[in-house]
Chain A
């Protein structure tokens, strides 16, 4: 178990999601990475019924890297998140609690794709889908021997630049630079990049990205605005179609 960085990949103009994944896969294999199977991270969200006070949300996540665990994060609506790591039986417990927590089926979101190993690096190219709709690409990179991000961020950055072919900012990713509250409610000087990394940090990063993708889904419908990964992809598909017809 080592430090993991999750990075949403901006699909280049004029490419579909599948093409972008293909392109990245080719670059990874050329770099010397070895394809080692598939992975899947999924997230389901449950909302408490109104008769039980203010609305609370429970996000239940599974990660194929930790097949025996179910991760859940309880959001009390006031900005406080309580993580819980349990056995797989937790899923059955959630089924029993339908009177308190109801599942929002239409928001079930997952990221799945190929898993690569490059030395001690673990690289996963995940395509995010919600209700069978493609939403974007999430790149997960893990450096397994190291447990503190600030020690190995430069290594991770260099590897990422190596196969993405684009510059990555020198600063730590946003998730790691947030301040940690200690038990007294005071902000600590230490930020997350200097802490020992835990599997729940990976899950938190996934949840953050998934939440962003869900918001993207709401925005175009509400405001009718174009933009976001899905519309860009549609445009790209149209262009491609046009190209084919021309040939």
Chain B
């Protein structure tokens, strides 16, 4: 990186001396002036020219010293910006780089400030600040690299359930979960945050291209509503891995959707529906009406 910087500096100085030389040439000499001023002009030009040559050689040698990076730079999600076709959005990349630099600087400064303030024993708040806590907010949970998501999902392994991972929208994951022979669910994630869940019956088709169509059965439409409630409940930006694991465990409790009676009223059917709600902690089944009373 340092070499690259010095090369760029050398190119910059070469450009400035070339400019100087041409400026001098453009100014020219005064025709009425004496012979010695002409030789002076010539000498000046030669000096400039030699300067230029020396700098050019320096640039060349520096360039030869440069190595191509072994691995391509990982640009993360920004690589998709190159696929942007709308002209007004093509300038986004430079803005992105600027804001990135800015955040980097903020981070540096805040780190320094934190160190300075930490030396001061006079504390004004009781909030405990440690070195470790600085790093946690820096992991943003909606921008994980795909390998991490794959690894996380492969770790989830519940009985009678199959997981099928596909990526129809770039690097973001859609997980198709088939629970026993009861239901299918498509979980749309952004990074490792759950954004949307679609629930359908075992005999219905769940097409990754059409994730917004609702199930034709009332019971699965109701279950879908409940999965959205749970999605908000389990949302946890600081511990995204744990959040997705607990969500999957909760969702798996639907493997006995038709098999379990409501814990409160002891009945299977109420208003033509089985107990569609599962308690978020105990995973016990309840009818929607029985859940709050």
Residues of A within 8 A of B273 (CB): 119-120
Q: 3 nearest interchain CB pairs?
A: A119-B272, A152-B258, A145-B217
Q: Could you tell me if A151 and B258 are in contact, using CB atoms closer than 8 angstroms? A: yes
Q: Tell whether B201 is near chain A: CB-to-CB under 8 Å.
A: yes
**A148 nearest CB neighbor, chain B only:** B181
User: For residue A146, which residue of chain B has the nearest CB?
Assistant: B258
Pairs across A and B, CB under 8 Å, 5 listed: A119-B219, A121-B272, A145-B220, A145-B258, A152-B258
Minimum Cβ distance to chain A for residue B117 (Å): 60
Instruction: Please give me the residue from chain A that is nearest to B200 by CB atom.
Output: A145
Tell me if B269 and A146 are in contact (CB < 8 A): no
Binds B, one of A127-135, A153-161, A185-193: A153-161
Give the residues in chain A near B218, CB-CB below 8 Å.
119-120
Tell me whether A168 is interfacial, beta carbon within 8 Å: no
List 12 extra interface pairs beyond A119-B271, A155-B274, CB under 8 A.
A119-B219, A119-B269, A120-B272, A143-B258, A145-B201, A146-B258, A147-B181, A151-B182, A152-B274, A154-B261, A155-B269, A158-B267
B203 with A158: CB separation less than 8 A: no
Q: In which size bucket is the chain B interface?
A: 20 to 34
Which chain A positions have C-beta within 8 A of B182? 146, 151
B185 CB, nearest partner CB in chain A, Å = 14
Specify which of A120, A143, A148 lies most central, judged by the most chain B CB atoms within 10 Å of its CB: A120
Q: Mark A136-151, 1 if CB is under 8 A from B, else 0.
A: 0000000111111001
Shortest B262–chain A CB gap in Å is: 11
Contact indicator A154/B259 (Cβ below 8 Å): yes
Cβ A158 vs Cβ B268 within 8 A = yes
Q: Give Cα A148 to B219, complex, Å.
A: 16
In the bound complex, residues from chain B placing their C-beta under 8 Å from that of A2 are 203
Q: Is the CB of A196 within 8 A of B271?
A: no
A162 to B259, CA, bound (A): 18
Please judge, given known A-B contacts A119-B271, A158-B269, whether A196 and B181 are in contact too, CB under 8 Å.
yes
CB distance from A168 to the nearest CB of B (A): 13
B149 CB → nearest A CB, Å: 31
For the complex, is B100 an interface residue (Cβ under 8 Å from A)? Answer: no
**Partner-B contacts on A (CB < 8 A):** 1-2, 32, 118-121, 143-148, 151-152, 154-155, 158-159, 162, 196
Chain B, 189-217, contact with A by CB distance < 8 Å: what is the 0/1 string?
Answer: 00000000000011100000000000001
Question: Which residues of B are found within 8 Å of A154, using beta-carbon distances?
Answer: 258-259, 261, 268
Given that A148-B181, A196-B181 are contacting pairs, would A155 and B258 also be in contact in the complex, using a CB cutoff of 8 Å? yes
Query: Taking the nearest CB of chain A, how far is it from the CB of B199, in angstroms?
Result: 11
The CA of A121 and the CA of B217, in the complex, are separated in Å by 10
Alpha-carbon separation in the docked complex, A145 to B204 (Å): 9
A144 to B272, CA, bound (A): 12
Chain A interface main SS type: mixed
A2 to B220, CA, bound (A): 14
A42 to B158, CA, bound (A): 45
Q: Give chain B interface residues in 156-203, CB to chain A under 8 Å.
A: 181-182, 201-203
A151 to B179, CA, bound (A): 13
Interface string of B50-78 (1 = CB under 8 A from A): 00000000000000000000000000000
CB pair A162 B269 closer than 8 Å: yes
Interface 1/0s, chain B 252-277, versus A by CB < 8 A?
Answer: 00000111010000011101111000
Contact at B219–A147, with CB atoms within 8 Å? no
List the B side residues contacting A151 at CB < 8 Å: 181-182, 257-259
Q: Which residue of B lies closest to A194 (CB)?
A: B181
Name the residue of chain B whose CB is nearest to the CB of A119. B272
A145–B181 CB distance below 8 A: no
A213 to B264, CA, bound (A): 43
Complex Cα gap A145–B257 (Å): 11
Known pairs A121-B272, A155-B269, A159-B269; A1 contacts B203 (CB<8 A): yes
Complex interface: chain A residues within 8 A of B258 (CB): 143, 145-146, 151-152, 154-155
A145-B219, A145-B220 known; A32 and B271 CB under 8 Å? yes
Bound CA–CA A146/B268 (angstroms): 14
In angstroms, Cα B261 to Cα A35, docked, is 27
Instruction: Given A146-B182, A154-B261, answer yes or no on A120-B268 (Cβ-Cβ < 8 Å).
Output: no
| Residues on B with beta carbons closer than 8 Å to the beta carbon of A148 | 181
* B143 CB to nearest A CB, Å: 38
Tell me, in angstroms, the Cα distance from A151 to B257 when the chains sit together. 8
A152: nearest residue on chain B (CB-CB)?
A: B258
Most buried by A among B220, B271, B273, B274: B274
For A3, give the chain B residue with the smallest CB separation: B258
Report the nearest A residue to B259, measured CB to CB: A151
Quick check: B181 and A120 within 8 Å, CB to CB? Answer: no
Give the residues in chain B near A162, CB-CB below 8 Å: 269
Residues of B within 8 A of A155 (CB): 258, 268-269, 274
Chain A contacts for B272, CB-based, 8 A: 32, 118-121
How far apart are the CA atoms of A159 and B274 in the complex, in Å?
Answer: 11
Shortest Cβ distance from residue A180 to the other chain B in the assembled complex, whole angstroms? 17
